[in-house]
Structure 1
Amino acid sequence: MFRHAILRLPGANYADGLTRVDLGVPSFELTLAQHAAYADALRDAGLALTVLPADPRHPDGTFVEDTAIVLAEGAILTRPGASSRLGEAEAIEPALRAFFPTLATIEAPGTVDGGDICEAGRHVFIGISARTNEHGARQLARWLQTRGYGASTVDIRGLDSILHLKSGIACLAGERLLLIPELAAHPAFAGHERVVVDAAEAYGANAVQVNDTVLLARGHPKLAANLRALGYRLRELDMSEFAKLDGGLSCLSLRF
């Protein structure tokens, strides 16, 4: 059960953030509206929110998931893999210390983006990507072990379709995984029930289960119907302006 979440409002310079896609320039007004709807969905799922002000130093700062890994047993500040985002973990630290007085940190030369980290029960998948390197993965795995978690790595550097591991995977109820076709046959996931997302709806794989609700990006009818047939309660949210900067549902909050 999640009880809290930390979010950061998008700033007026949000459109200056990093992106690999060409989906157009985000509307700031619509970005704020979609962020507010996301916050409402978390509240309706039972979470108390800490909503931080926009940080004009970091256009990507609203994607707080990349700045820390948060478990019931503790939290660790990451070291984002894009140089322009290195200050974001330091900026989130005061808000995290209100809940976790003792914080571990990923140290150079390690890099870790939270978007590459997928928890599945007591096991954590760590994506090796353009943003998370082997040094960072080893540090994180050691820290996870001290908290009673196993860890394994999944190298996604050969997949041009996703930036982070969680761009193509979501864990629902501990054992069931949503997976894009490119990841569905990966041996790392062999022990889990797998739901393969249609290639045309790949963005929908970045879903988030928050207590008894699964948050799903609007516009993925096949996946929505499949999840409802499996018994999930869905909350579909417009995510168009975050998709323009490679962002998804999981990116916008730290949940614990």
Structure 2
Amino acid sequence: MSTLTEAMKEALTDLNMNIVEIADENATLDGGDVLFTGREFFVGLSKRTNQRGAEILADAFKDYAVSTVPVLEGLHLKSFCSMGGPGLIVIGSSDPAQKALKIMQQMSDHRYDKLTVPDDLAANCIYMNLPDKGHVLLHCTTDEFPESVKVFEKLKDHMLIPVSNLEKVKLDGALTCCSVLINKKKPDN
């Protein structure tokens, strides 16, 4: 187990979070292939995630539907989509991204709103609903994707925070690669 994995496990244990470890050496599951909408999971089948990994995720989250989506191009599912708010999927405009969205729409009983951005990588953003701030969206900068930023600016009910990804992208990294969002209330003192 890597030092980073051990540190994450320790942090989650300290937060009294339930930890499920993948014991099947044939299973692969990359966090960049897991899109949780708040209602269900979409799991991208890519070079980094296989069907067995998706099955293990489904076993761990039995209260949620889990659907798989082929990732035909790009590193993983979140290379061209992410959640931009409750019920809002941010999606790239490329043909592979739009095909994946169509599959997600066909597999879901829920109808999601969509925000289509011109650049697939710009669709990788981070949504948070913060108690004192409301809807907050971390997204790419104007220097990186000026046309996509114009689309984000249409989200009038969001606090928009541009975050540079210029260095991380050199290693196939994106904004969601650098985050672990945990919905945990502070204990009352």
Same fold (TM over 0.5): yes
TM-score, normalization by structure 2: 0.80
CA positional deviation for 1:155: 1.2
Cα distance in 2 for partners of 1:205, 1:131 equals 19
1:140 maps to 57
Q: Is the 8 A contact 2:85 2:128 kept in 1?
A: no
Cα distance in 1 for partners of 2:52, 2:168 equals 29
TM-score, normalization by structure 1: 0.60
CA positional deviation for 1:189: 2.8
Q: Is the 8 A contact 2:136 2:161 kept in 1?
A: yes
1:255 maps to 2:181: yes
Letter aligned with residue 215 of structure 1:
L
Structure 2: unaligned runs, 5 residues or longer? 130-134, 183-189
1:215 maps to 2:151: no
CA positional deviation for 1:101: 5.0
1:46 maps to none
2:46 maps to 129
2:154 maps to 229
* C-alpha RMSD of matched pairs (Å): 1.7
Letter aligned with residue 47 of structure 2:
A
Structure 1: unaligned runs, 5 residues or longer? 1-85
2:65 maps to 150
Q: 1:102 to 1:174 in 2, by over 3 A?
A: same
Letter aligned with residue 116 of structure 2:
V
Greater relative contact order (Cα < 8 A, sep 6+)? 1
CA positional deviation for 1:222: 2.0
Q: What SS does the corresponding residue of 2:59 show, helix, strand or coil?
A: helix
1:171 maps to 2:83: yes
CA positional deviation for 1:110: 1.0
CA positional deviation for 1:210: 1.8
Cα distance in 2 for partners of 1:206, 1:243 equals 11
1:196 maps to 2:91: no
Give the number of aligned pairs: 164
